[in-house]
Structure 1
Amino acid sequence: MATVATPDTVQSEAYISTVALFLVFSTSPKEEKAYLRLPPNWRDLWAEFAELRKAKTDAVDRETVREFREMFREQITTEEEDGVVLKNGFRKRNKGTGTPEEVEVVKPKSNGFSMANPEQLRDLWQRKCSTASYQRMLISRMNLPMFRFRDAALSAISCNQVIIICGETGCGKSTQLPAFILEHELSQGRQCKVYCTEPRRISAISLAQRVSEELGEQKKDIGTDRSLVGYAIRLESYVTAQTRLVYATVGIVLRMLESAKGLDDITHLVLDEIHERSIDTDFLLIVLRSLMVQRPELKVVLMSATVDAQKFSRYLNNAPIVVVPGRTFPVQAKYLEDAIELTDHTPDGDHQSFTNEVEDHEDIVADGASSGIPNQLTSYSPKTRNTLSKYNEYQIDYSLIVKIIEKVAYAPLYSKYSRAVLIFLPGIAEIRQLNDMLHGHPSFSQGWLVYPLHSTIASEDQQQAFLVPPPGVRKIVIATNIAETGITIPDVTCVIDAGKHKEMRFDERRQLSRLVQSFISRANAKQRRGRAGRVQEGLCFHLFTKYRHDELMAEQQTPEMLRLSLQDLVMRVKTCKLGDIEQTLSDALDPPSSRNIRRAIDALVEVNALTPTEELTHLGQQLAKLPLDAHLGKLVLLASVFGCLDFALTTAAILSSKSPFVTPMGAKKQADTVRLGFKRGDSDLLTAYNAYCAWRRVCTTPGTSEAQFCRRSFLSPQNLSNIEDLKAQLLASLVDAGFVTLNNEERAALNQARYASRYRTFVPVPSHLAANNDNDLIANSVVAWSFYPKLLVRDGKGWCNVANNQSVSLHPTSVNKGVSSSRYLSFYHIMQSSTKFTNAHETSPCTDVALALLAGEADFRLYAGVLVIDGNRLRFAVSNWKTLVALKMMRTRLKETVSRAVRFAGKPLSGQQVKWMDLWRRVMEQEGRKAK
């Protein structure tokens, strides 16, 4: 263009505009209309441009093919070289942590079980089981009910590919059955690899440690070449080449399925606690049904304390069932009518009768307004029957709970049950309220310890709940359903069961999560009741009527596959190459509806993870390599392109684990005030990131106290450490996927952060990938692009979800609640509470320009001066047509840059793309100055 001259400035501008229009619209289906609207002289110029382009087409095509061949060849070479260097580097520094695949390829230091032939195996095992420590533990193992069924279980496994163990709580199935398999195979001189899946990390760790000890191994042996037992959970894998029995979370086994080796090395797979019907376990069963056909030598065992055994048996081709009795003491079961009769209780003003306004409850519609007074209650006093006729079972009656504890504590008939009382409540709000009541009650001011247990309470503050108090001191533990099977408080003698729990339910149609309070199932009630009979005869008060228990409660809880989002499941079907999505999921034990599957697929198509034909896109292929949902995966990928990767990795780690903020009992207002002190960029996500950065500065500054800072700032050091660990794993996943390239020094620093155990080291994100980390506008824009269409637009004094025009409120803890001046807010998820408020969580502001540049599919209507995104979902009026052309050009180049970065992971941007990125950065900086 340097050789073109025009007579005046007007002609110059017209020439440049024609060139710009040709570049923008020449490949558009609307080219002809644009061409015809030009004046004759500029129409001729357009025709000249078209002829020149046509003349160059063949040459360009040939050159493009050549470049793509070279690029493809170079990419494969680079990826292979990087893969070898990275894997060797990671594994060389491995100290027994990392993913199972990484650890297991490490060569053993000694020729042990992994290298032995059949004769050597028998000899090695004989020596191991002859040790004094093994024999000593064997005596205690023989007292477990499961031990008496050892031969029956092993015989069933030998004769069948899959069996079901239905064992009562306390029978020892989780520790003994996997050990039986291991011992039997080694004694026969057969190599084996046994994996036992657990629903929770804490279960996998504690069971592995117990089994290791029962095999006569030292406490510190687990995960070393001296041990046959290991465990694998997220962020931790104590598995070596010598390991023959692994306790792992279900998620770990599913990630193994996605790898090249799959489950090829596993000879026996034991699925524990299948009654919980987690979405991961049900999906694993789908895979196993086809895998067992391909691998007839694979042995599968399903285990649970409470399970509809016949249903699972039919699903698995009439698999045989082995029933094992438990080893628990009898527990007296009492119900609401017994509690009212015992305490002479009349509900106070805080406990509304059913005829008054009641809290929203999932079971109200199903049950009707009242279940009435059954004939069985005629043996109770008239006062009790009158109270029950007006009683609202759907609310938590805190005063009744307090009266029950008093009665158990001080009545001679029940005082023997008062040593340790476990109370089941549905959520943290209920735990707080009862905790405050007990701490302020004179009956429990001396000689009592009260411990709340909940996942949002810092773990370091909860350990005392598991310890037996000193003589003369009694304890009360208030917990949610995590105490049903996930943890064991050994000295519990009395259980008070409110009979309710809260569970997440996802509405695929409205794309929102609802935290629903509902009555538990009969299976849940049995588990809770059993907690009182571990050490002596126990007592349990269920705060619902026996009639409700026998007639209205469900036998089992609703499977997660029927109530949670299916998007991650859909991605997993494609990653594991299981075929048609709907057909695969229809093979589930309780298959989700076709409509919900279709909605999940459509949502993934909208974020460009799937094509309309349900194949993984280039973006979807990259997302499938990350242990994140589609939106968080997109966040870290885009952030690596736009230079705010440290913020994105930290945010993804926070949203995938627990919040760094904690709220101690009785300090909610103070904690909320302190949290607002970390406010940054009018964003909940940047606020959490700001708190994380402050913690990191404290930890790396000599002379400062991490404990004091966290206590003063209402932060959990354990949660922050977990966030840091997960952040390292996510960065390593990006490196393994080839999306991020590290030099030798950066690679060594990442290894140090992942595997060093003596001193804390932090994840080093390369500076060029975090150049825009301090630019709040860029960070918020990347969040908006990643989370789209999760977007709110201001609607009067409130907010409206652009995806479905639903009115939405901001969560009360949001930094934007009542103060945001932004027109648009992105959000991570929407949840409907039990009070029917639809609240958006993790909100961040975004500008019109940010949305115009990368959100959705855009239609630039040049002559109308309008930019429309996703068929009028968003609509921006642009008065200056030149600005509209500039936006289109910028958007086109940014899309090309992102597409190249995703398609050719790890390849540097071209010089032209670097210039466009620099121009984009300047535009965003200018937008930031306007906002101020």
Structure 2
Amino acid sequence: MENLPIRQFEDKIVETVDKNPVAVIIGETGSGKSTQLSQILHKRGYTKSGAIAVTQPRRVAAVSVARRVAQELGVQLGEEVGYAIRFEDRTSEKTCIKYLTDGVLLRESLSDPELNQYSVIILDEAHERSLNTDILVGLMKRLVKLRASNLKVLITSATLDGEKVSRFFSNCPILNVPGKLFPVEILHSSERPKNYIDASLKAAVDIHVKEPEGDVLIFMTGQDDIEKLVMKLEERIQSLEEGSCMDAIVLPLHGSLPPELQVRVFSRPPPNCRRLIVATNIAETSLTVDGVVYVIDSGYVKQRQYNPSTGMYSLDVVQISKVQANQRAGRAGRTRAGKCYRLYPSIVYHDDFLDATIPEIQRSSLAGSVLYLKSLDLPDIDILSFDFLDPPSSESLQDALKQLYLIDAIDEDGSITSLGRTMAELPLEPSLSRTLLEANECGCLSQALTVAAMLSAETTLISGRSKISEKKRKHIPSNLPDGSGWGDHIQLLQIYEQWHRTDYNVDWCKDNNLQVRGMMFVKDVRKQLSQIMQKSAKESLDVRTRKGRRESQQDYKNLRKALCAGYANQLAERMIRHNGYRTIGFKSQLVQVHPSSVLRTDEEGMLPNYVVYHELIATTRPFMRNVCAVEMPWVMPITRKLEKLNVEKLSGGFSEPEKSVHVENSDLRKENSSLPKLPDDHDSKIQAARERFLARKGIK
């Protein structure tokens, strides 16, 4: 700890913090900023007037760094040093250093807008430009003016553009802390490999067989790639001739791993044994793994991107930025001179890579963030002109406002509603928050809590569900319920209820190919959501105990009605051609129900007239995932709301409404006029259904 570079700058850091309300600290990889900065300020007395909050964009990092700091201070985790992440709080009244995700800090500010419990707020890893961190940066600018005498804000990063942040905070001081890095030799491939998993496998085995001791860190794009490479590495290492090289253990590292498996990468390997760590970009800066000497960089990262014009997410494997490439290389020089094997030519790095990663705020749906800003009740905030470090597009903000209006979180003048206030307090996306509140009115809150918890699970609960084609699925025997034909949300409810009737038997999960850890997580989340709802809602809640009672068709109908209210922006109307769906209102997109869906067709092969979906995502083609049938009477109020839509009024601005309303209605009429008319007679319906079926088969 004493050897970390940041300790040499302790006096300078404290002097800067004492004299300035805001400071930017650029701490290179290995400087110790994440673990030591809070301890330095704690030792200098800053926790006497309030706690020190240190935000992390990732839950894994918040937990692991808190654990490390508690260990260094010799205290029990959860006492003087603790952490808070979504659905888990390990803090107490004694906690004076608190690591938390940026989203948790945002939610805390709803009940205490001035965050008076904190004397220091450190926004760590700001270079990752997470959506919540960017919003916090904008809010901190306001907060330091309100609490100039008793609040210190530090923006810390490994690679952030310090000058830009300094200008944003009225030219606040910038401190640069060098990292403790050894030289790293960069080795580029002569060409891009056809398969980066196989190329990574070959590079890792070559290093293991030929290079001196030292751990290997391999950057993959996501959990699927990691699992494939881990399996291949284990097979290849076991096939090596005994005694030809040292032993090796292969360890995965990604955000969906349970904590007991995550901590394995921080334990030193046995003597004469090398670790091969296969990780996502979580290992770029958020977590530091000591002992790494060799890095293999595939040059790719998996990134979610949102298109506000279609309301669709795509999960794309994209090239990393130069900043990310340099961070990955730096991981090889923590303990001694290392090597970084880049699986791409140097010309690709220089000519094709962006200088920096696109901020998440410019590639995400902003509905939850805008709801949060609206709930602050700040009279000078116009959402379309809020002071962001890097503003999102106007189209993204307008899309968020429309979403919130359709689910009753804001009214037609842009004012937050009582429903919206309660929704903002729930640690869920707005669509699920709205569903819970509507479910309380419909008398099916117990069922809706289950569905919300199931959809909040970290990974797909039904193992392999998203990877099995529709043709193969039909031949896989399963005792799982089928959603009674109404769709995936009902199936999720039925699965959980069936598990509940076994008294949450783990073997039942295994027998039905369900992820045990995921189902236990759902059980815990459901309990917490129920408790949060009891605290948040002003009205009495109908959280009924099941007592062995089975769900009825009326329960399913009530739940589907609640889902329609929550997913009002994610409503789709059946089209005849191409077995597609058209999204109602201001979006127009042909998509298909995902092959894994249990939504049933009628005897004529027709899907329901209206459905809602949890997610619209582009993979091989645009798909609706987690789909549920809804009824016409529930849909009509949503279409009527569109007639009153005015984006300027929704934002908090004061533009003339007539022009905007006219445009919206004109667009809506244009979209409706382009729809094919549904055939009236029975034979035409059958023929249309047959054409749709053949078209679907043709596409596949």
Fold shared by both chains (TM-score > 0.5): yes
Partner of 1:526: 326
Q: Secondary structure at the match of 1:157?
A: helix
Matched, 1:239 2:42: no
* 1:561 matched to 2:357: no
- Per the TM alignment, residue 549 of structure 1 is displaced from its structure 2 partner at its CA by 1.8
Taking a change above 3 Å as real, the CA distance of residues 568 and 261 of structure 1, as seen in their structure-2 partners, is closer
- In structure 2, which of residues 552, 556, 562 is the aligned counterpart of residue 782 of structure 1? 562
- 1:827 Cα deviation from its structure 2 partner: 0.6
> What is the CA deviation profile of residues 374-427 of structure 1, one whole-angstrom value per residue up to 9, with x for unaligned ones?
xxxxxxxxxxxxxx4xx5x7x54444333322322333xxx215x533221223
Check 1:697–1:492 CA distance in 2 against 1; reply closer, same or farther (3 A cut). farther
Q: How far off its partner does 1:283 sit? A: 0.7
Distance change (3 Å), C-alpha of 1:850 and 1:582: closer
Which segments of 5 or more consecutive residues in structure 1 lack a partner in the other structure? Answer: 1-140, 338-387, 747-763, 860-869, 880-932
- Confirm whether residue 539 of structure 1 aligns to residue 342 of structure 2: no
Cα deviation 1:627-672 (Å, max 9, x = unaligned): 3222111111111121221221122223234246164899979999
Which aligned pairs between 1:712-727 and structure 2 lie closer than 5 A?
A: 712-727=511-526
Tell me the equivalent position of 2:655: none
Which shifted more, 516-525 or 579-588? 579-588
The aligned residue for residue 414 of structure 2 is: 614
- What are the superposed Cα offsets for residues 25-70 of structure 1, whole Å, 9 maximum, x if unpaired? xxxxxxxxxxxxxxxxxxxxxxxxxxxxxxxxxxxxxxxxxxxxxx
Distance 2:478 2:628 in 1: 16
Unaligned runs of 5+ in 2: 242-246, 643-667, 681-700
- Match for residue 809 of structure 1? 592
Choose which of 817, 827, 830 in structure 1 pairs with 2:616.
Answer: 830
Aligned partner of residue 267 in structure 1, secondary structure: strand
- Looking at structure 1, the residues matched to 109 and 283 of structure 2 have their Cα atoms a distance apart, in angstroms, of 30
CA deviation profile, 1:659-709 (whole Å, cap 9, x unmatched) = 461648999799994778342223222222333233333345xxxx52x33
2:60–2:255 Cα contact (<8 Å) kept: no
Say if 1:826 and 1:843, in contact at 8 Å, map to a contact too. Answer: yes
Q: 2:216 aligns with which of 421, 444, 447?
A: 421
User: Are the counterparts in 2 of residues 396 and 498 from structure 1 also a CA contact under 8 Å?
Assistant: no
Q: Is the 8 A contact 1:645 1:765 kept in 2?
A: no
Quote how far apart the aligned CAs of 1:727 are: 2.0
> Is residue 319 from structure 1 mapped to residue 172 from structure 2 by the alignment?
yes
Distance 1:247 1:545, change over 3 A: same
The C-alpha deviation readout for 1:786-813, integer Å capped at 9, x for no partner, is 2124233143451212323421022233
Q: In the alignment, does 2:640 pair up with 1:845?
A: no
- The answer for the alignment partner of 1:795 in structure 2 is 576
3-state SS, counterpart of residue 6 of structure 2: helix
CA distance in 2, matches of 1:309, 1:637: 43
Give the Å deviation of 1:499. 0.5
* Partner Cα separation in structure 1 for residue 614 and residue 369 of structure 2: 19
In the alignment, the residues of structure 2 paired with residue 466 and residue 709 of structure 1 have an alpha-carbon distance, to the nearest angstrom, of: 33
Equivalent position of 1:331 in the other structure = 184
Query: Is 1:477 matched with 2:281?
Result: no
Residue of structure 1 in register with 2:509 after alignment? 710
Aligned residue for 1:401, secondary structure, equals: helix
TM-superposed CA distance for 1:163, in Å, is 0.9
1:58-457 to structure 2, matched below 5 A, reads 141-185=1-45, 190-217=48-75, 221-224=76-79, 228-260=80-112, 262-297=114-149, 298-337=151-190, 388=191, 396-411=195-210, 415-416=211-212, 419-435=214-230, 437-438=232-233, 441=236, 444=239, 447-455=247-255
Shift of 1:158: 0.8
Counterparts of 2:623 and 2:379, CA distance in 1: 37
Contact 1:174 1:272 in 2 (8 A): yes
Equivalent runs, 1:637-676 vs 2, <5 Å: 637-659=437-459, 661=461, 663=463, 673=476
Separation in 1, partners of 2:341, 2:209: 16
| TM-fit CA distance, 1:589 | 0.6
Structure with bigger gyration radius: 1
Q: TM-score normalised to the size of structure 2? A: 0.82
CA distance in 1, matches of 2:23, 2:17: 6
Deviation at 1:271? 0.9
Contact persistence 1:799–1:809 (CA under 8 A): yes
Instruction: Name the aligned partner's letter for residue 629 of structure 1.
Output: E
Query: What amino acid is the match of 1:316?
Result: F
Name the counterpart of 1:728. Answer: 527
> C-alpha separation between the residues in 2 aligned to 1:812 and 1:249?
35
User: Matched residue of 1:827: which SS?
Assistant: strand
Distance in 1 separating the partners of 2:104 and 2:189? 42
Letter in 1 for 2:72: E
Counterpart AA for 1:826: V
Contact 2:221 2:281 in 1 (8 A): yes
Q: 1:772 to 1:577 in 2, by over 3 A?
A: farther
Shift of 1:534: 3.2
- Cα deviation code 1:201-247 (max 9, x no counterpart): 22222222322332232xxx3334xxx32222222333333322221
**What do you get for the CA RMSD once the two structures are aligned?**
3.5
Match of 1:635 in 2: 435
Secondary structure of residue in 2 paired with 1:732: helix
Contact 1:660 1:688 in 2 (8 A): no
Structure 1 residue 687 and structure 2 residue 500: aligned?
A: no
* Amino acid corresponding to residue 518 of structure 1 in structure 2: V
Q: Which residue of 2 aligns with 1:698?
A: 502
Aligned partners of 1:822, 1:636: CA distance in 2, in Å?
Answer: 24
**Residue type matched to 2:592 in 1?**
S
Q: Residues 844-880 of structure 1: CA distance to partner in whole angstroms, max 9, x if unpaired?
A: 123445546x654399xxxxxxxxxx87969999x9x
